[in-house]
Amino acid sequence: MRTLVAVVGAAIIAIGVLTGCSSSAAADLQLGDCLTVGGTPDRPEANKVECGSPDSNFKVVAKVNDSEQCPTDVDSYYSMRSAFSDATETVCMDVDWVVGGCMSIDPDNATDPLRVDCHDGSVPNRQRAVEILQNVANVDQCDSGLGHPYDERNFTVCVEDMS
């Protein structure tokens, strides 16, 4: 499991298990599907939405039986437990970065990432995705010097701070 790390070293995504009521919802999710994930630790919610839409904050990058099977560099995961058995299904997720779009990333891990208007000065911690580098897991290759490297899957999301 990993957290996104900016050059300043701030961990920005809280990693945790969100347990839903049924594994049937996870069975409907496919690789590449996007979700809006939120709610509280006691009442987490995850709903399928259009990727890149204002509500989308995560993208499914793997489906596994246990969160320990997720790639080590995913941003978060969502586990659903069957109400009828001990079976679980977990979707491993990355932030749904869109080049040119902005996300508000909480440096204190208190909230999930949130898609925002890049020019909305009232929203703190805005980061604009400027490039996604394939076959590179190093923010030094980003023009801004800021980014989120994904070491296991060997790519980097380059960002610029907007706030």
Q: Which pLDDT tens digit goes with each residue over 52-80?
A: 999 999 999 999 999 999 999 999 988 88
**Contact predicate 63/26, CB 8 Å:** yes
Average pLDDT, stretch 133-145? 96
- Mean pLDDT across the stretch 13-29? 44
**102-133 residue pLDDT tens:** 999 988 877 889 999 999 999 999 999 999 99
Confidence (pTM): 0.80
Which is it for the CA torsion 29, 109, 51, 21, positive or negative?
positive
**Selected residue with higher pLDDT from 78 and 43:** 78
Gap between the Cα atoms of 156 and 98, Å rounded: 13
User: Do 56 and 13 touch, CB atoms closer than 8 A?
Assistant: no
